[in-house]
Amino acid sequence: MQPMQSFQQIFGTVPTVEAEAPGRVNLIGEHTDYNGGFVLPMPIPRTCRVQLRLRNDDRVHVWSANQGGSVREYRLGQEEPLADWLDYVQGCTTVLRKLGHPLSGFEVHIASEVPLGSGLSSSAALDIALLRALRSAFGIPISDLDLARLGQRVENEFVGARVGIMDPLVASVGRPGHALFVDTRDLTCRQIPFPERGEIVVLDSGVRHRHSAGDYNTRRSECEEACRRLGISQLRDMTPKDLDRIEALPEPFRRRARHVVTENQRVLGAVAALEAGDLSALGRLFDDSHVSQRDDYQVSVPEIEVLVALAHVESGVWGCRLTGGGFGGSILVLTQAGQGEAIGRRIAEAYGRNTGRQIVPLVVGRSA
């Protein structure tokens, strides 16, 4: 992040509206959201904060502490995708205007504590924080659930990222210290308090595969092809009873489908484990999920495997897994409450010695 300049320093006046939204870590349920399945994300105690002041014309002036540089500018009604970060802002005004909400221009100051592009969903934190600020600035009557749907449309229709509903949903309706169980088929949600005895440490590998967006889209297409061959509309329609049919598919569809079907079951198991406060069971599910992502969905990379191996060496770790879309990104480690920081620091130091990369662990728990 650049040295922080305030709204007043940038725009010479004070903001009238403020809003924020958190990043998230997905506890379990990876690559299930676009298959109509289950996910279990949890907000992290890091937010994107947006400050805004309305203008009397149709110009939008945007400054982001995370991008540095100068104030960016565009006119309402003339939004054009530029394939850079301004698209998230332009996308928000475009979807609101398309819904018929009259907007005026505004000045906006963005500052996020969510690391960008680390699999902690900085983009949804930005979408939802900005949509919240615009909702209150213009008095737009829209629910938190619909705000999440708009956040997804910003990314799907304007930015051009085929993301599912999970990230904007948890940014919009997630509660600190609670996992959010979501059935992505009908968007029913349940808030589950994270057990006091546990803690999650998130470690960002610092690696982001160059082709990750393309590989993500390939996985989505492979799932669609698996469905076509199975004669179903979504992999969600398969249960463990159908694994025989999945075993008969050719590769890579067999592995992809097997991951999604078993991962959905693991999410249900994780919900039960959380509700029972059974953290050893939760840890085993995390480990199984990691193996399935590595071997069946094939979304891990060597740096992530280094982190996972280092986590397994630690005592006081119940389980760990790659979290987020993969091809780099972060792992999460389930530890006893109060131990996360020390364990995270030891893993980070060993990772630094192994790879030369400096990483800062993030601890997420009930009180966070």
Residues involved in catalysis:
167
Can residue 119 be called a binding residue for ligand ADP (CB under 6 A)? yes
Other C-beta atoms closer than 10 Å to the C-beta of 188 total 9
∠ CA 230-231-234, rounded to 5°: 85
Q: How far is the CB of 258 from ligand ADP (least distance, A)?
A: 26
Quick one: what does residue 88 bind among Mg ion, ligand ADP, none, with the CB cut-off 5 to 8 Å set by partner type? ligand ADP
Contact 171, 38 (CB under 8 A): no
**Is 162 or 190 the residue whose CB approaches ligand ADP more closely?**
162
With contacts defined by CB under 6 A, how many residues of the chain interact with ligand ADP? 17
C-alpha to C-alpha distance for 312 and 286, rounded to whole angstroms: 12
In terms of CB distance, is 67 or 265 closer to ligand ADP? 67
DSSP state letters, 2-26: PPP--HHHHHSS--SEEEEEEEEEE
Q: Which of 85, 181, 216, 351 lies at the binding interface for ligand ADP (CB under 6 A)?
A: 85
Among 88, 253, 286, 297, binds ligand ADP (CB under 6 A): 88
Q: Bridge partners of 109?
A: 51, 63
From the list ligand ADP, Mg ion, none, which binds 16 (C-beta under 5 to 8 Å, kind-based)? none
**Identity of the residue, 33 or 287, whose beta carbon is nearer to ligand ADP in the bound complex:** 33
Complex with ligand ADP: residue 90 or 289, whichever CB lies closer: 90
Look at phi and psi of residue 83 and say left if phi exceeds 0, alpha if psi is from -120 to 50, else beta.
left
Q: Interface residues with Mg ion (CB under 5 A)? A: 123
Contact positions with ligand ADP (CB under 6 A) in 52-71 = 64, 66-67
Q: Would you say 308 and 314 are in contact if contact means Cβ atoms under 8 Å apart?
A: no
If DSSP codes are grouped into helix, strand and coil, which group holds residue 273? helix
**292 binding ligand ADP? (CB under 6 A):** no
Among ligand ADP, Mg ion, none, partner that 85 touches (CB below 5 to 8 angstroms by kind): ligand ADP
